[in-house]
Structure 1
């Protein structure tokens, strides 16, 4: 897997992969929205003025990627608003190629799981350690597989203590698995903050707010879950999506976003948040009927029920001793990278399962990578390909 290390001005870019992303989305935007590339560039240009106010540094990065790739600035900006175009403008321009039918795309499944430090167990004289995990399968069309990259971002202030004349809150180091040309997607930072993304499908965009993929980057620049949540609430989101953000100290929260609102999906009693590809917090009495319930994937609800069932079945590792029996009386289930990887291998409902397989024409997407983050340890395991048959495995760490 191509790894890109960025520090300072981002004028170096993986040109071949960026061109691959542009070719992929040129076709996808035509299919989903009926937009040719001239119309796509015009749409992207509508974000320039708002982003000059909301995210000027990120806009400069987009210019740098465009220069390094030898393409137009609006081409790269279009990639970074690809969620708003694909999942927000699908009713603004009818797709003659699809005959008005909804394109069955995406399929990501995500979860977080947290437990705080607990008091020492007097019966075993050992503390029950805290944990904070964040994980997902990223499902998308296999044609984009070749354009996935690992992006490491090391701001000049990330590795050095602040001086008297420097920013007292330097930006953290970031590691993200993303599509070439995009500023971020799923990943974590050196403060132990991580993000995952689930696509949702809702009508409409608000171009005065922050696009989803820039919101992911903004969250990865924060020092805590609370800071990330506040930052995204302040800017609002331009389109629809679910961002699962977590940190090592306080666990996760699901941020269900539309162009109108950001709502928080709290952890359950066991410290877990689960999500697939439909809105869980839609309130018809408040929102009315003009917000589309984004269950455009028939498998979204079954996958959500299945991932909850599987995580509920994770138990304390077998120690084969009386100590295990004593601990199990009071101890909550404890996950590990291995047990969460097993969850994400699940094929119930195959091919439209948690571990997804493309099966045209009904299922157009497939699991392209799986990421499991141990936020307390500041590390993540990434496998590329379906988790039952991955071809490459790498470790991200700080």
Structure 2
């Protein structure tokens, strides 16, 4: 290896999740990321590869070919991200193509929709059987006890995901903000916050539309949001129909603003939290989306989580605190498919899902409250940029 290694510091764990700090240029950041926990990067790849093969209904060779086909769209979007993925691969002792598969896993898991005969109806049934669940919340300063803006989410996924997590803090040398997020090792971005006071939450959306194989995968779009200096820039990172698959990203900034961007096939719908509260789950809310001829694919628990989270917040007497948001994320109404989701032990372990972690960030103080397991078990506080 003849390229600079960069620096990675494993400062501590937070609730059993390793905290990793990476600094430098894109390749250096990636290399130190991969080198810090290569076992977790490898495990993240292997688990997600298995899921992509099962849900995408394709061979491994097809997965690799399609994942590598995303390289050029990502290079057009931001070539730094390909440099960082190469660094992760080298640091973890893995192949670049394996890290492209991992960072395209959201789209690769939906490939089965492209291959189905019978058109939109069959794709609808396929998508309905593979719905995932997450709940995101933003509360802006006019509704909070300290005048700050809060944003966070419950990340619901397969229980094996907890074996792959890191808490990653990145200090960039390219003029972009420092960022912090919790997510699977090997992924270049997930939900979190940056040093400019931008934060986000992400929710899976599903339609019976095929995946756009010339689009940009979700993980790279999320990094575009996290690299933004203001809310307008963050919206621009998603606008223009560049997305490879449908998804939702709720974005807030410290200047008491929050929007929700519902990415559709070739366009976006925007929701604005006019009353200072904005929530989202796993179905479309903006009028006219998804666009004809495609249909919104969702399960009933998404409707409950979306409306219930908003109802609980609006029902609070007086101003809303971080602790109030934590309580909403811990809610068990409509359980077990509640905002705080617990695993169903009657299922095989590889089919069990739960709230793997939860967080809520104060975008003014840049404090994150992180629940490293189900949020009902409690939150821990971290100020990630104080560690740089």
User: SS of the residue aligned with 2:238?
Assistant: helix
Q: State the match for 2:75 in structure 1.
A: 52
User: Matches of residues 125-274 of structure 1 in structure 2 within 5 Å?
Assistant: 130-156=147-173, 170-202=175-207, 203-234=209-240, 236-268=242-274, 270-274=275-279
Equivalent residue for 1:302, pick from 298, 304, 329: 304
CA distance in 2 between counterparts of 1:75 and 1:396 reads: 32
User: Matches of residues 247-396 of structure 1 in structure 2 within 5 Å?
Assistant: 247-268=253-274, 270-281=275-286, 283=288, 287-288=291-292, 290-295=293-298, 297-316=299-318, 334-359=319-344, 360-361=346-347, 364-389=352-377, 393-396=380-383
Measured against aligned partners, the alpha-carbon deviations of 1:125-183 in whole angstroms (never above 9, x if no partner) come to xxx852211021110000111101111110136xxxxxxxxxxxx21111111111100
Select the structure that is richer in helix. 2
User: SS of the residue aligned with 1:388?
Assistant: helix
Q: State the match for 1:73 in structure 2.
A: 96
Q: Give RMSD over aligned pairs.
A: 2.4
Give every structure 1 segment of 4 or more consecutive aligned residues whose post-TM-superposition deviation is greater than 6 Å: none
Q: State the match for 1:331 in structure 2.
A: none
CA distance in 1 between counterparts of 2:243 and 2:126 reads: 27
The total of aligned residue pairs comes to 351
Contact 1:106 1:141 in 2 (8 A): no
Deviation at 1:93, TM superposition (A): 3.8
* Unmatched segments (≥5 aa) in structure 2: 1-16, 118-124
User: SS of the residue aligned with 2:377?
Assistant: coil
Measured against aligned partners, the alpha-carbon deviations of 1:10-68 in whole angstroms (never above 9, x if no partner) come to 21312100111111112111221112322211110111122222221000100110111
Contact 1:236 1:262 in 2 (8 A): no
* Unmatched segments (≥5 aa) in structure 1: 119-127, 158-169, 317-333
User: SS of the residue aligned with 1:7?
Assistant: strand
Contact 1:50 1:207 in 2 (8 A): no
Question: Structure 1-normalised TM-score?
Answer: 0.83
CA distance in 1 between counterparts of 2:210 and 2:143 reads: 43
Contact 1:134 1:373 in 2 (8 A): yes
Q: State the match for 2:57 in structure 1.
A: 34
User: SS of the residue aligned with 1:25?
Assistant: helix
2:37 paired with 1:3? no
Cα pair distance change 1:94/1:149, threshold 3 Å: farther
Contact 2:241 2:267 in 1 (8 A): no
Deviation at 1:189, TM superposition (A): 0.6
Q: State the match for 1:20 in structure 2.
A: 43
Question: Greater CA radius of gyration, 1 or 2?
Answer: 1
Deviation at 1:394, TM superposition (A): 4.4
